[in-house]
Amino acid sequence: MLDRESNTYRRVAATIDDFMKVDYTGVGLIGNLYKALQSRQPGPACMGAAERIVAATQENPGPILIATGFPEGGGAPETDGPIGAALLARAFFLGMRRETVIVIDEDWETMMVATLRGAGLAPMPYPEDGVIRPIEYLRPVYIKTVPKDEAGTFAICDKLLEITRPCAAISIERPGCNAKGLYHGLGGRPLDGMVANLDRLFEQVKRAGIPFIGIGDGGNELGMGVIAEDLPRFSPKAADTGTPGRGGVAAVTAADWLVTANISNWGATGIVAALSALLENPTVFHPPELETRSTELCVAHGGVDGMFMAPEPAHDGIVMEEYEGMVRALRGSVMRALGHSVNWQGQRGDWRQLK
């Protein structure tokens, strides 16, 4: 494990967060989001998330639960979220041999299966008895689907926590309800009937003392309640969507630890980078091409980009040729900070010999 008191730790942690707060999309929110987060939760966000996930796996044998899925026009799931969830699941298995259960709406299961396969994972049927058992070498990941109606969702989620007993729970680019219990897109678009209510699941997660990591990029995502009071200062629809009686888009459920990034998938990659550094295991950080493959399969099976509002292989308007370069730059910076030389023809030096 990387020494938390070392200069290397501090340098790597700061480098990763620096990548997270660059406004690649030009939306103009991330600088204020990160500043608000630091006022409420000081310290490196991605490394803090990685540390909490590692600690959770050391204290509890259960799987890691990840909720994702955000509806765009017509209810199609956007690419931001599922790809990040898949790459986190890969990192958890390769770094800690820990299985993941992904919770997503039942009409998006086909998309999620394809996205996971693109990330080099083996999607498995959720066991009938709800108990996750280790399977060596296969890189298994389990999908638990939920319906859109609250009664059906709540019954499934109650059983999920009681029987599956996750050691940690993560929400990534998942709609979070506002103070009126309503869901919205960042621009105020109502999501009524388009997404299952998983705030109830994460409220139970918190009551059970299970660590809850949130990942978001706008303020309307599950877990962003950490900075809900700050959002109206700089997010136009945070307090008021403009539709009478609906309130604002700001999500009220607060994660125990929040990661903000310019794109939520980018936040997931930041946590993967931090976990790779913390465990001193370069294999945990996926090759950039894997994000492209996962994204292309996501789109081929129903995913849409949240900016193009179309089946384009992109993350919030960043096409994969550019996005892959972002991942390559982050991976190279982290490896070099750890003393690990990188040759993109596939040859790597030993980071330990350069410490």
pLDDT given at position 341: 66
CATH of domain 7-354: 3.90.1640.20
Reported as a single tens digit per residue, the pLDDT across 72-122 is 988 999 999 999 999 999 999 999 999 999 999 999 999 999 999 999 999
Closest CA to 51 of 246, 344, 271: 271
Q: Rounded CA gap, 339 and 342, in Å? A: 10
Residues 6+ apart with CB under 8 A from 58: none
Top pLDDT among 298 and 344 is at 298
Please count the other Cβ atoms lying within 10 Å of the Cβ belonging to residue 137. Answer: 8
pLDDT band at 135 (very low <50, low <70, confident <90, very high): confident
pLDDT given at position 353: 35
pLDDT band at 354 (very low <50, low <70, confident <90, very high): very low
pLDDT given at position 348: 44
pLDDT given at position 352: 41
Closest CA to 218 of 23, 85, 60, 19: 23
Global pTM reads 0.95
pLDDT band at 347 (very low <50, low <70, confident <90, very high): very low
What proportion of the chain, given as a percentage, has pLDDT over 70? 96
**CB–CB of 279/1 below 8 Å?**
yes
Q: Dihedral sign, CA of 39, 44, 45, 51?
A: negative
Reported as a single tens digit per residue, the pLDDT across 159-205 is 899 999 999 999 999 999 999 999 999 999 999 999 999 999 999 99
Cα of 81 vs its chain's centroid, Å: 6
Please count the other Cβ atoms lying within 10 Å of the Cβ belonging to residue 15. Answer: 20
pLDDT given at position 355: 31
3-state secondary structure of 281: coil
pLDDT given at position 295: 98
Q: Rounded CA gap, 185 and 135, in Å? A: 38
Reported as a single tens digit per residue, the pLDDT across 198-249 is 999 999 999 999 999 999 999 999 999 999 999 999 999 999 999 999 999 9
The beta-strand segments (E) located in the chain are 64-68, 100-105, 122-125, 140-146, 168-172, 212-216, 257-260, 314-315, 318-319
pLDDT given at position 342: 63
Q: Rounded CA gap, 113 and 121, in Å? A: 9
pLDDT given at position 350: 44
What's the average model confidence in pLDDT over 38-48?
98
pLDDT given at position 343: 60
pLDDT band at 340 (very low <50, low <70, confident <90, very high): confident
The beta-strand segments (E) located in 227-333 are 257-260, 314-315, 318-319
Please count the other Cβ atoms lying within 10 Å of the Cβ belonging to residue 151. Answer: 8
Q: Rounded CA gap, 293 and 118, in Å? A: 5
- Mean per-residue pLDDT of the chain: 94
3-state secondary structure of 203: helix
